[in-house]
A and B are shown apart, each in its own frame.
Chain A
Amino acid sequence: MKPSCSFPEKPEAVYYFGTCLADLLYADAGMAGIRLLQREGVRVIYPRGQSCCGQPAFNSGFQDEAREVAAQQIVQFPKNLPIVIPSGSCGAMMTRHYEELFQGHPLHEKAQSFSARIFELSEFLVNVLNVKLEDRGDPVKVTWHSSCHAKREYGLGDEAKQLLRQLKNVELVELERENECCGFGGTFSVKFPAISGVMAQDKSADVMQTGADLLLSTDCGCLMNINGALEKQKSQVQSQHFASFIWNRTHVS
């Protein structure tokens, strides 16, 4: 978990980096994140030219291709404002790997400023905006999968769980092996589908074991993977990005 000094005062405005997975597959989660920020009185700016942090190519060893795509992101976020992301994995890519990726590149300094302004959504809601939630939803039992990149690479703490614990009708049950990888791993799931598939099945079995109605997480990659395995096994357990879940239960329609 980051030390509290690494968080800024509440800003007037923030940038929002939606991530490619949220853009294509979890648009509601992306939107929910924006709404949660706006509700706290923060102006949200969504630069239209954004696409992807570059992680898929970077993790596959295609550094030049990753750099070109990453460069395109950096120039979209020029003002000195926090950049909030509904993903710890993309956050890890942008905070941990841009420094090396842009070593000796004309954008190096801008990349450094960009990386320093990155915040994962849940940590921003808790540590910067000090969000207080009022639950308007029905009683529900949920469980939590911890994204490996969010926890181990980005260094995300348990802020999302802190938010869930504010919701009085939500029972959070612990998932056995919560911190074990779900098997997604980006291109790993494509290159080694059999190994990845077994990991996803094991994870979904653990999820079903909890008796929860819903699985939540910070990262769309994990959710897509685990949800796929749950559906394949015809499980009743649904899955959702934590931002969608929180927004849906707390906003006044």
Chain B
Amino acid sequence: MSAKANHSPHRLSEKAFFESSGSALKDPKLRRNFKRAMNGLMEKRRDIFPDASELEETRGRAGGIRRKTLAYFPELLEKLEANCESNGIRVHWAETTEQANQIVLEIARSTNTRLAVKGKSMVSEEMHLNAFLEKHDIEAIESDLGEYIIQVVNELPSHIIMPAIHKNLEEISQLFQEKVDPNRSSESAEEMTATARLILRQKFHDADMGISGVNFAVAETGTLCLVENEGNGRFSTTLPKVHVAVMGIEKVVESLQDLPPLLKMLTRSATGQPITTYFNMISGPRREGELDGPEEVHLVLLDHGRSKIYEDELLRETLLCIRCGACMNHCPVYTRIGGHAYNAVYPGPIGKILTPQIEGIESVGYLANASSLCGACVEVCPVKIPITDILLRLRRNRVRKKNARHWTDLNGGKSLMELMTWKGWKQVLSQPSLYRTQASLLSRIGNLLPAQIPVLRQWARSRSLPRFSKKPLHRLVEEAGIDHE
């Protein structure tokens, strides 16, 4: 197969979001795939949490552990570094994704790496590591089946847990025949998995380096934990002579005791599994007398805006996330437009709060607006991240940022229009007599407004226009002689 890295440019702009979400909405197959998959995932989660009060308690406990971690964040990171180092894990700090990539490249060069196998890692997606390595003539092969599938067709993950969830079995079967194994038409998932396994076994064997993410890093013991279902994570971290783990700094936890509640919430919230097939606890390179394991283990700790997020008490709750993906599974917007429409590494609700904070509120703040604030994500978040409150804060920060600059500079005249709308709204709604006059006027002529007015036209594409009451309530109240004080 051709192992091309993801070249898709990240077009993080409001216009691009409108285009990509618009075309996703017009793609019935895509919508069917997502709807079916998300319905299945919601059902699995519901089934594994039959007791609402127990769920509440465990969410509280898991959230409490994550909040405690953030309370001692800098100290825990230092402790993690010290204990990893004493376990023989070499720790590298990267403030930016460029620095993180450079660190991985230097390790690759010092170990003569030509081929790297990768376990699933969202942080490596954040770094666009595959493309970077490819540019430097190092092949990076995704070994998670879902990641493997999308790497074959040069796409980005559409979900943080199930990267190829936008494709159905038929589509995957077709691409296997076209790109992976032209000699065989595999129709069953088992056959295709077997084909991928054959190819990947050889890659695991040949690879000079294994790259993985980290789900939890235990500060007190210097242990890197990796949650996975396919065994590819274990292969990637044990077979090649070098293992490089990349991790966002927020994944640190204090002690081993913190793991069970977090692990329980992660697998149950993500896929409805009581436990994953593999849970790896990596505590250093191969020691003398041990039969397997890598000769070198490196941990790259990536900041990429996280310490900035940490500065604000509310926004820091973004860092509680354990990347289970339940927020996207339950999001009515994500379910309809799919993960690719966001044009971002992290789609769905968590992406809407994380991406603007990492990439900049001025340029990506529109993502925080792309929510009906329904709160389905907040309801299922295993660590109780107040996603809607954070969305509101980001919306406010965006407006403030704009106020600080010239409104007309941004987004053509659209922003100015929005500002004027709210100024006008405030003028009317904060003056009772003015409001009542306007309301009476609307009740008389509101229903005559033509559906061609831009705001109404958009609404009217899928809905009839709202109808104004013949008389506003405050008039009915007066006529009925309801007390006013």
Contacts and interface: CB of A to CB of B under 8 A. Distances in A.
Given A34-B482, A43-B483, A188 B462 contact: no
Interface string A46-88: 1111111010111111110100110110000000000000000
A61 B482 contact: no
* Chain B interface, >50% SS class: helix
B372 A47 contact: no
A200 B21 contact: no
Contacts of B374: 148-149, 152, 180-181, 185
Nearest to B397: A61
B376 A181 contact: yes
A148 B228 CA distance: 34
Contacts of A184: 372
A198 B335 CA distance: 11
Interface stretch (A18-26, A114-122, A156-164, A166-174): A18-26
B476 A27 contact: yes
B138 to A, nearest CB: 40
B477 interface: yes
Contacts of A181: 332, 372, 374, 376
A65 B462 contact: no
Interface stretch (B80-88, B230-238, B244-252, B467-475): B467-475
Interface string B436-466: 1001001100100000000100110111111
Contacts of A113: none
Contacts of A72: 429-432
A23 B463 contact: no
Interface in A210-224: 224
Nearest to A187: B369
Contacts of B371: 185, 188
Contacts of B475: 27
Contact of A23 (B395, B474, B483): B474
A91 interface: no
A197 B22 CA distance: 11
B422 A201 contact: no
Q: Which of A20, A51, A149, A183 lies at the interface centre, i.e. has the most chain B CB atoms within 10 A of its CB?
A: A51
A68 B392 contact: no
B327 interface: no
Contacts of B443: 24
B196 interface: no
Interface residues of B, number: 69
B136 interface: no
Contact of B375 (A43, A152, A187, A231): A152
Contacts of B396: 61-63
Given A68-B426, A193-B461, A59 B395 contact: yes
A208 interface: no
A140 interface: no
A153 interface: yes
Given A47-B485, A198-B336, A228-B464, A26 B426 contact: no
B332 A183 contact: yes
A45 B463 contact: no
Contacts of B18: 194
Given A24-B442, A45-B483, A52-B429, A180 B459 contact: no
B416 interface: no
Contact of B463 (A52, A60, A186, A232): A232
Nearest to B333: A195
Given A46-B474, A59-B395, A185-B374, A24 B463 contact: no
Contacts of A131: none
A149 B467 CA distance: 23
B332 A199 contact: yes
A44 interface: yes
A7 interface: no
A175 interface: no
B461 A152 contact: no
Interface string B302-332: 0000000000000000000000000000001
A231 B332 contact: no
B372 A199 contact: yes
B474 A28 contact: no
A85 B378 CA distance: 25
A20 B429 contact: yes
Contacts of B375: 148-149, 152-153
B469 A27 contact: yes
A168 B478 CA distance: 34
B378 A152 contact: yes
Contact of B472 (A24, A43, A201): A24
A225 interface: yes
A46 B483 contact: yes
Contact of B376 (A45, A148, A197): A148
Given A57-B422, A152-B378, A193 B459 contact: yes
Interface in B338-364: none
A225 B462 CA distance: 10
Contact of A197 (B398, B463, B468, B476): B463
A199 B337 CA distance: 11
Given A24-B469, A27-B476, 9 more contacts: A18-B473, A27-B471, A48-B484, A149-B373, A185-B372, A185-B374, A186-B372, A195-B21, A199-B336
**A-B CB proximity, top 8 nearest:** A185-B372, A228-B463, A197-B462, A61-B395, A181-B374, A193-B458, A27-B469, A49-B432
13 contacts: A24-B446, A25-B466, A45-B485, A51-B428, A51-B435, A56-B425, A60-B369, A60-B399, A72-B431, A97-B392, A188-B372, A197-B462, A228-B459
